[in-house]
Amino acid sequence: MLPVVADYPVRPESQVQASFDSASSFSVLRQYQYHVFLSFRGCDTRYRFTGSLFKALRDNKIHTFMDDVGLHRGNDISRTLVEAIKGSRIAIIVFSENYADSTYCLDELVKILECHESDDQFVLPVFYEVDTNDVRRQTGSYGEAMAKHEEKFKDDKSKVEKWKRALHEAANFTGFCFKGKKYEHEFIAKIVGVVSKEIKRVALPVADYPIGLESQVSKVKSLIFSDGYDGVHMIGIHGNGGSGKTTIAHAIYHLIANGFESICFLENVRENSYKHGLVHLQDILLSNIFERKNLKSTSVEQGISNIKHWLQQKKILLILDDVDKIEQLQALAGKPDWFGRGTRVIITTRDKDLLVCHGIQRIYQLENSNPESNITASARKDNTEQVVEKIIGGQVNGSLEPLFSEDTNVDRSKQVSVIQAQSNAQVICQFNENQAEFCHTCSLERIESANITLKVKEELEVKDLSLCAKLASLEEKKRELEEQIRAVKAEISDSTAERQLLREKELAMEKS
């Protein structure tokens, strides 16, 4: 039977387990030079199918390596090609009629499978006008080619056997088949869609290599796969604001995503459900999995029905970040039977009772609320002594200035000011690494603006600075301040209403 891709090529179970097992360390968070390496027979497809595929990938901002300058020299593939294969996240192998004629193509194929074995490189075969069985069993044009190689390399039979094994193994990967009576541009669009989905799993390039995360992630991973790889399991990560929950979830996401049919990371569930509602989050979940924009729900109940209908047979990795209400879990991941066999749902929250209430037994507890204790230093790959100026994402009805100056040799202290018009309170928030102090003053008269001042003062060696952990921590603290602001506004609003009511009663009594 020809391997055909539906929504996404699913790896065989043995490969999935190998992918999970290889995620035991942070070596997989490597930097890739290319998203895609194209292996193809130039005389068959360079100026037709492969050329069109290359253009489509580049048009979609997918960094692709295609040997277009004749890098083959001598009897072996060049060092440049070997490095390009090793430096690619995905290898697309275009099997065409004369692919096996080329010893260079066969050597490329062997190297690709070595990278799949050692680095979990994603292999996507495309059978262009050839039968998969001809590739797998070396019959037809592939049989003729291998017979010629056996004659030519009769003194090096191991080389030919290695090529045969590689062809057989590559043909067993799920991929795409093209055999006439199809529009090539539609066929290519499907391939580009699969590649786009795959490269979302691991960012390119990875700038920071977390050091202190490994022990934390290892413990979470042991919870995720404590009963093997079958079944549907929900795992909670609990900790205070700024403890590094989101950072750990991101690391887990990158380490194990390759073992799932589809993935979805819903960030800031608390904030987004407050701003946009649960139906919006349900729609995002489904659109991320299926990449369709027409999966819309009109109510939470319909959203639940849609999730169960579309995901019951799908093995997915779902991460719900910063959940604070049971209703959010009930709407997005109500029960394990909503999802297909092998699914994992990871939830980060500050409320452990919420996890228990939802029946989640596998909970990783971050004991210390200080991210500097939980997630220590992060060293840049090039060990540079330069801190990149970053802006904490989002606004509080204003603008946030960069928190860190470019001068890393002096104390960094900057104020972030936000003007919020038509507010009834003046809020001053001051934060340093030892304490957070919050106070508010209110006036009986309307105050036209409120100021929020966030003061960050630290003295750190750059090589010990973990931007990843610190930014995640500061983002969580920013969200805490936003919550406090909303609480103060509600308190003042209630107080104003009470005073108004008392005043109306006094006036009524005076008139009577």
What type of residue is 479?
R
The three-point CA angle 183-185-190 to 5° equals 105
Please give the chain's pLDDT, 512 residues, in tens.
334 443 344 444 444 444 444 444 444 445 678 999 999 999 999 999 999 999 999 998 899 999 865 454 444 567 888 999 999 999 999 999 999 999 999 999 999 999 999 888 999 999 999 999 999 999 999 999 999 999 999 888 899 999 999 999 999 998 999 987 788 999 999 999 899 888 776 543 333 444 557 788 888 988 998 877 778 999 999 998 878 898 889 888 878 887 788 889 999 999 999 999 999 999 999 988 886 656 788 999 999 999 999 999 899 999 999 999 999 999 999 999 999 999 999 999 999 999 999 999 999 998 654 444 444 444 433 433 333 333 233 333 333 333 333 333 333 333 333 333 333 333 333 333 333 333 333 333 333 333 333 333 333 333 334 455 556 667 667 777 777 787 777 777 777 777 777 777 777 777 66
Domains of the chain: 13-199 (3.40.50.10140), 208-373 (3.40.50.300), 382-498 (no CATH)
Whole-angstrom Cα distance, residue 458 to residue 432?
8
Q: Are 199 and 62 in contact (CB under 8 A)?
A: yes
pLDDT at res. 181: 77
Task: Write the DSSP assignment of 419-471 as a string of letters.
Answer: EEET-S-EEEEEE-SS-EEEEEE--SSPPSEEEEEEEEEE---GGG--HHHHH
What does the alpha-carbon distance between residue 260 and residue 271 come to, in Å, rounded to a whole number? 27
Q: Which residue has the tokens 């194209």?
A: 38
Q: What is the spatial distance between Cα 152 and Cα 165, in angstroms, rounded to a whole number?
A: 18
150, 52, 55, 48: which is closest to 97 by C-alpha? 48
Contact 106, 163 (CB under 8 A): yes
- 413-419, long-range: CB < 8 A, 24+ apart: 413/455, 413/456, 413/457, 414/455, 414/456, 415/453, 415/454, 415/455, 416/452, 416/453, 416/454, 417/451, 417/452, 417/453, 418/451, 418/452, 419/449, 419/450, 419/451
| Single-letter amino acid code for the residue at 314 | K
Question: Which positions ≥6 away from 261 have C-beta within 8 Å?
Answer: 7, 8, 10, 314, 315, 316, 340
- Annotated catalytic residues are 108
Measured between alpha carbons, how far is 453 from 451 in angstroms, rounded to an integer? 6
231-261 pLDDT per residue, tens: 899 999 999 887 889 888 988 887 888 778 8
Neighbouring CB atoms inside 10 A of 499's CB total 11
The three-state secondary structure class of 58 is: helix
Task: Judge whether 87 and 81 are in contact, CB under 8 Å.
Answer: no
Q: Half-sphere exposure (CA, 13 Å, Cβ side) for 16? A: 20
Integer Cα distance of 314 and 188 in angstroms: 24
Q: Is the CA virtual torsion 472, 477, 483, 486 positive or negative?
A: negative
Residue 59 to residue 476: CA distance in whole angstroms = 36
